[in-house]
């Protein structure tokens, strides 16, 4: 793997992250936003793995495992909030809960 290969993979990782951000911003259904959040988190994961492979360092894969833990927790909490939202409002529109109740 040469330096230009690393740069190509890093650009792919940034593209994955940008696609995820686009999904979170453009979709209103909360389930689609969670899927987009998963895509967004896989971008940095690819970046860590590529950098770890390039420098022959295990820290890239270590960071990947921490990102994996974060993604699993985030999906569990997000899906619980999604089920709660549907029980509360009957829709899956994340804009339906834009107000707070004291």
Partner 1 sequence: MSSLLAIYAGAFALISAALSVTRPNAVHSLLYLVVTLLALAVCFFALGAAFAAVLLIMIYAGAIVVLFVFVVMTLPISPEAITRERALLRRAWPLPVLMSVLIVAPFVFGEIGLKATGQPAPVSAQEVGKLLFGPWALAVELASLLLLAGLIGVRHIGRSDRSPRSGS
Min. distance of Cβ 65 from partner 1 in angstroms?
7
Min. distance of Cβ 99 from partner 1 in angstroms?
18
Min. distance of Cβ 89 from partner 1 in angstroms?
14
- The residue (of 35 and 96) whose beta carbon lies closer to partner 1 is 35
- The residue (of 77 and 89) whose beta carbon lies closer to partner 1 is 77
- The residue (of 4 and 99) whose beta carbon lies closer to partner 1 is 4
What's the start-to-end Cα distance of the chain, in Å? Answer: 56
Closest CA to 85 of 73, 98, 70, 71: 98
Min. distance of Cβ 13 from partner 1 in angstroms?
8
Quick check: helix, strand or coil at residue 47? helix
- The residue (of 1 and 99) whose beta carbon lies closer to partner 1 is 1
Buried/exposed code over 41-66 (b: 16+ C-beta within 10 A; e: otherwise): bbbbbbbbbbbbebeeeeebeebbee
Distance CA 94, CA 34 (A): 11
């Amino acid at each position: 793997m040469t330096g230009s290969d690393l740069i190509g993979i890093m650009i792919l990782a940034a593209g994955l992250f940008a696609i995820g951000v686009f999904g979170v911003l453009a979709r209103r259904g909360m389930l689609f936003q969670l899927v987009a959040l998963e895509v967004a988190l896989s971008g940095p994961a690819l970046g860590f793995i590529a950098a770890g492979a390039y420098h022959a360092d295990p820290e890239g894969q270590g960071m990947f495992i921490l990102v994996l833990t974060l993604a699993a927790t985030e999906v569990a909490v997000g899906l619980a909030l999604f089920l709660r939202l549907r029980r509360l409002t009957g829709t899956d529109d994340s804009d339906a809960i834009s107000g707070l109740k004291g």
